[in-house]
Chain A
């Protein structure tokens, strides 16, 4: 990959980058190893990042461990694939009030928009799969005829510092979706972590401004060779793949495929997959009324098409069976998403595989339904 790197940042100077990101009061959010997972939280120093942390992911399994202390990865801060969160919760809030209804004594109602909580944030360590999913969420919440003001407010305040993925998990398949393991677009700054530091590139004016007085070192041929080699190894490490084509027609042609019954017998309809999916956008709205009934907060929170209430209308459920709900999710994600947003809704992060309590694998199910080789 020929990339236009701004320079090389030795690892011991990563704090300088974090300080520059925090300039002007930005909250820097980065990966932290906590409670057995890599989670996104406020970070102030590189020392808080998950040094030497490794993740082992498999269908229905996620474990943190340590890289061999003798290996160079033991000093790395981003030598893991991904945690459950990604970027989505930072922009599309899991729960937030949209507006408030206030009733006065005469019974008149006043509707007040609730200003979104939208602090300036720099996200350090965004993965290619999540940066690609961010672009999908942008299309959904910003590019349609109606703009979501809450998402828009936060989106305008976020600076994305991506880190190329050097250690994909066994559940990753971003190579087959074309979204990773290295980031190619949609970031302000991107880092490639090498054994002794970071190749740094900026893609926006905001990103270049952050890098302006970092006194980056020149990039050497050895750096480039190491980055190339790492990228290729990260690609080769991925054993899972979605069929490398638009699956829309194949899915819509197989809406009565026996595999839907097969997967429905395993699926618990818990909605974990939609919660960890970086592109799922469904949300439900509900009111929380004050004790005196004078005001009511109209709140939205993430919803899942795996719940029965998702399709409920006046006592009738469109999708009462798990088979129908799994089908709805997969046909939308890999099929009709193409009609809506010009590409598949899957960016290959593999989280739905890892966090599925029974280990259902989207690549296996899609292959079974869409290709002859997967026929039961």
Chain B
């Protein structure tokens, strides 16, 4: 009795090398990676919103959103906040260092379906990488999209990262940047208050816009309600969910959100799919 041929392991990473490391803030950094097998690197294809599992030798894996442009094959970029065991270790990597990478996993943002429409991006919290990928994508293909409105909220004005980038985006044609901080230091020339308060007077046509949201669940829920009140159709509201992930291939069970496995059915969801459970604390 010989064992039948085994399916390839979906758990096995590929080797990747750090091409460049960028410091974004004190604890946020970007790793620009290249798969060391050139054939694999050339064949690597992803959509903004998808994520990779990054593996640090001897420490473990962590799910990280991809922030580079899918059509620029140079590097596969990840913006990471050093908060856990693996990410603190990843923060110590330098150009040339090796790590493991497998992916991409999950669903991407509906960018093809959004072409020709206005794009409203609502984010809360620190450096929302999944939406930065969208901003970069739209900015590089500016003519394919309508109005671009970026609404970003932070707890404290000092938490805002990439302030210069927001300033640069704000100067682009037909683009508006709205920032809000619950608490602000002197010199903050943006809104003081909740991000949802900004949504009341965002000048996009609800019938012609797609909204994409990323951040704390309570914020996304409140933002979605504000947009629904303004007449945005629910099917044009999208959001990125986050859960603990170990396997990223719907086996380990950690990322379950109701019937959905966030790793595979998400992380990008149409709002009505998750609306009900988004309101339940601890689900």
Contact = CB atoms under 8 A, between A and B. Distances in A.
B3 A153 contact: yes
B173 interface: no
Contacts of A313: 242-244
Size bracket, chain B contacts: 35 or more
Contacts of A319: 282-283
A347 to B, nearest CB: 18
B9 A99 contact: yes
A310 B256 CA distance: 11
Nearest to B98: A109
Interface residues of A, number: 65
B69 to A, nearest CB: 26
A111 B15 CA distance: 8
Interface in B227-259: 242-244, 246-247, 249-254, 256, 258-259
A144 B243 CA distance: 20
Contact of B83 (A298, A310, A315): A315
Given A99-B9, A145-B264, A285 B246 contact: yes
B6 A152 contact: yes
B58 A296 contact: yes
B84 A311 contact: no
Contacts of B96: 107
Contacts, number: 155
Main secondary structure of the interface of A (DSSP, over half): mixed
Nearest to A281: B253
B60 A286 contact: yes
Interface stretch (A3-11, A124-132, A163-171, A332-340): A332-340
B99 interface: yes
Interface in A107-163: 107-111, 113, 115-116, 118, 120, 140-141, 144-149, 152-153, 156-157
A118 B259 CA distance: 31
A285 B252 contact: yes
Given A286-B60, A313-B244, A315-B84, A149 B250 contact: no
B221 interface: no
A146 B243 CA distance: 19
19 contacts: A24-B1, A103-B98, A108-B36, A111-B100, A144-B250, A145-B264, A147-B7, A157-B3, A252-B258, A255-B280, A281-B253, A282-B253, A284-B252, A284-B254, A287-B60, A318-B282, A320-B282, A336-B256, A339-B258
Interface of A: 24-26, 98-99, 101, 103, 107-111, 113, 115-116, 118, 120, 140-141, 144-149, 152-153, 156-157, 252, 255-256, 281-287, 289, 293, 296, 298, 300, 303, 305, 310-315, 318-321, 323-324, 327-328, 331-332, 336, 339-340
Given A109-B99, A281-B251, A312-B244, 11 more contacts: A99-B12, A101-B55, A107-B97, A109-B57, A146-B10, A156-B4, A282-B253, A289-B58, A298-B55, A311-B243, A318-B243
